[in-house]
Amino acid sequence: MAIREHSLMEHTSIDYTKITQSSSFQQLMRAKKKFILPLTLFFLIFYFALPILTSYSNVLNSPAIGPISWAWLFAFAQFIMTWALCTLYSKRAANFDEMVEQIKQEAKEGGSV
Protein backbone atom coordinates (compact mmCIF):
# COMPACT_ATOMS: atom_id res chain seq x y z
CA MET A 1 0.00 0.00 0.00
CA ALA A 2 2.82 2.34 0.91
CA ILE A 3 4.49 1.67 -2.43
CA ARG A 4 1.32 2.53 -4.29
CA GLU A 5 0.96 5.88 -2.59
CA HIS A 6 4.58 6.65 -3.18
CA SER A 7 4.38 6.03 -6.91
CA LEU A 8 1.16 8.00 -7.07
CA MET A 9 2.90 10.98 -5.50
CA GLU A 10 5.78 10.77 -7.92
CA HIS A 11 3.31 10.37 -10.70
CA THR A 12 1.72 13.72 -10.07
CA SER A 13 4.96 15.56 -9.35
CA ILE A 14 6.42 15.28 -12.84
CA ASP A 15 4.99 17.38 -15.64
CA TYR A 16 5.68 15.19 -18.65
CA THR A 17 4.14 17.58 -21.14
CA LYS A 18 6.54 20.27 -20.01
CA ILE A 19 9.46 17.89 -20.57
CA THR A 20 8.27 17.01 -24.08
CA GLN A 21 8.19 20.72 -24.89
CA SER A 22 11.73 21.36 -23.66
CA SER A 23 14.31 21.91 -26.37
CA SER A 24 16.62 19.22 -25.00
CA PHE A 25 13.89 16.57 -25.25
CA GLN A 26 12.88 17.63 -28.73
CA GLN A 27 16.53 17.53 -29.73
CA LEU A 28 16.76 13.94 -28.45
CA MET A 29 13.66 12.89 -30.35
CA ARG A 30 14.95 14.51 -33.55
CA ALA A 31 18.37 12.89 -33.18
CA LYS A 32 16.81 9.46 -32.56
CA LYS A 33 14.40 9.75 -35.45
CA LYS A 34 17.13 10.89 -37.82
CA PHE A 35 19.23 7.88 -36.88
CA ILE A 36 16.74 5.08 -36.29
CA LEU A 37 14.24 5.63 -39.12
CA PRO A 38 16.63 5.61 -42.14
CA LEU A 39 18.72 2.75 -40.76
CA THR A 40 15.67 0.63 -39.97
CA LEU A 41 14.44 1.14 -43.52
CA PHE A 42 17.91 0.30 -44.79
CA PHE A 43 18.29 -2.99 -42.93
CA LEU A 44 14.75 -4.11 -43.82
CA ILE A 45 15.38 -3.44 -47.53
CA PHE A 46 18.82 -5.07 -47.36
CA TYR A 47 17.32 -8.09 -45.62
CA PHE A 48 14.34 -8.62 -47.95
CA ALA A 49 16.48 -8.05 -51.04
CA LEU A 50 17.98 -11.53 -50.50
CA PRO A 51 14.81 -13.69 -50.48
CA ILE A 52 13.22 -11.52 -53.18
CA LEU A 53 16.25 -11.88 -55.46
CA THR A 54 16.63 -15.62 -54.83
CA SER A 55 12.91 -16.32 -55.22
CA TYR A 56 12.19 -14.33 -58.37
CA SER A 57 15.52 -14.55 -60.22
CA ASN A 58 18.69 -16.58 -60.61
CA VAL A 59 21.10 -13.65 -60.77
CA LEU A 60 22.67 -14.54 -57.42
CA ASN A 61 23.46 -18.09 -58.56
CA SER A 62 26.47 -17.06 -60.62
CA PRO A 63 29.84 -17.82 -59.00
CA ALA A 64 31.62 -15.01 -57.18
CA ILE A 65 34.66 -16.54 -55.48
CA GLY A 66 35.42 -19.99 -56.84
CA PRO A 67 32.44 -22.23 -56.02
CA ILE A 68 30.88 -19.62 -53.70
CA SER A 69 28.01 -17.85 -55.44
CA TRP A 70 26.73 -14.28 -54.94
CA ALA A 71 23.79 -15.67 -52.96
CA TRP A 72 26.19 -16.92 -50.28
CA LEU A 73 28.16 -13.68 -50.30
CA PHE A 74 24.94 -11.70 -49.92
CA ALA A 75 23.95 -14.06 -47.08
CA PHE A 76 27.29 -13.44 -45.31
CA ALA A 77 26.86 -9.73 -45.94
CA GLN A 78 23.67 -9.91 -43.84
CA PHE A 79 25.79 -10.96 -40.87
CA ILE A 80 28.33 -8.19 -41.46
CA MET A 81 25.49 -5.70 -41.86
CA THR A 82 23.85 -6.80 -38.60
CA TRP A 83 27.07 -6.56 -36.60
CA ALA A 84 27.96 -3.21 -38.19
CA LEU A 85 24.55 -1.69 -37.45
CA CYS A 86 24.72 -3.05 -33.91
CA THR A 87 28.06 -1.39 -33.30
CA LEU A 88 26.92 1.82 -34.97
CA TYR A 89 23.82 1.93 -32.80
CA SER A 90 25.68 1.44 -29.55
CA LYS A 91 28.11 4.23 -30.52
CA ARG A 92 25.27 6.63 -31.35
CA ALA A 93 23.26 5.59 -28.30
CA ALA A 94 26.08 6.85 -26.08
CA ASN A 95 25.19 10.33 -27.37
CA PHE A 96 21.52 9.69 -26.67
CA ASP A 97 22.42 8.71 -23.11
CA GLU A 98 24.19 12.03 -22.60
CA MET A 99 21.15 13.89 -23.87
CA VAL A 100 18.92 11.86 -21.56
CA GLU A 101 21.15 12.77 -18.61
CA GLN A 102 20.68 16.44 -19.47
CA ILE A 103 16.92 16.07 -19.70
CA LYS A 104 16.85 14.34 -16.32
CA GLN A 105 18.97 17.10 -14.84
CA GLU A 106 16.69 19.80 -16.23
CA ALA A 107 13.59 17.98 -15.00
CA LYS A 108 15.08 17.89 -11.51
CA GLU A 109 16.19 21.52 -11.47
CA GLY A 110 13.22 22.86 -13.38
CA GLY A 111 11.01 22.04 -10.41
CA SER A 112 8.42 20.74 -12.80
CA VAL A 113 5.59 20.79 -10.26
Partner 1 sequence: MHGLAFFLFLIIVALTLIITYFASKRTRTTSEFYTADSSLTGWQNGLAIAGDYMSAASFLGIAGMIALAGFDGFFYSIGFLVAYLVVLYIVAEPLRNLGKYTMADMIAARFDDKKVRGIAALNTIAISTFYMIAQLVGAGGLIKLLLGIDYVYSVLIVGVLMTIYVVFGGMMATSWVQIVKAVLLMVGTFIISVMVLVKFDFSVIKMFNEVKTATPLGEAFLNPGNKFKDPLDTISLNLALVLGTAGLPHILIRFFTVKDAPTARKSVVYATWIIGIFYILTIFLGFGAAAFVGYNKIVAANPAGNMAAPLLAEALGGDVLFAFISAVAFATILAVVAGLVLSAASAFAHDFYSHILRRGQATEKEQMVAARWASIGVAILSILLALFAQKMNVAFLVSLAFAVAASANLPIIVFTIFWRRFNTTGAITGMIVGLFSALLLVFFSPNVWSPQPGAAILIGEPLFKLANPGIVSIPLGFIAAIIGTLLSSQKEDNKKFDEILVKANTGINQ
Q: Which residues bind partner 1 (CB under 8 A)?
A: 4, 10-11, 14, 16-17, 19-20, 25, 28-29, 32, 36, 39-40, 43-44, 47-48, 50-52, 54-56, 58, 60-61, 65-69, 71-72, 75-76, 78-79, 81-83, 85-87, 89-90, 93, 97, 100, 103-104, 107
Please, what is the minimum distance in Å from the beta carbon of residue 76 to partner 1? 8
Q: How many CA atoms lie within 13 A of 84 on its CB side?
A: 9
Please, what is the minimum distance in Å from the beta carbon of residue 59 to partner 1? 11
Please, what is the minimum distance in Å from the beta carbon of residue 92 to partner 1? 10
Distance CA 52, CA 72 (A): 14
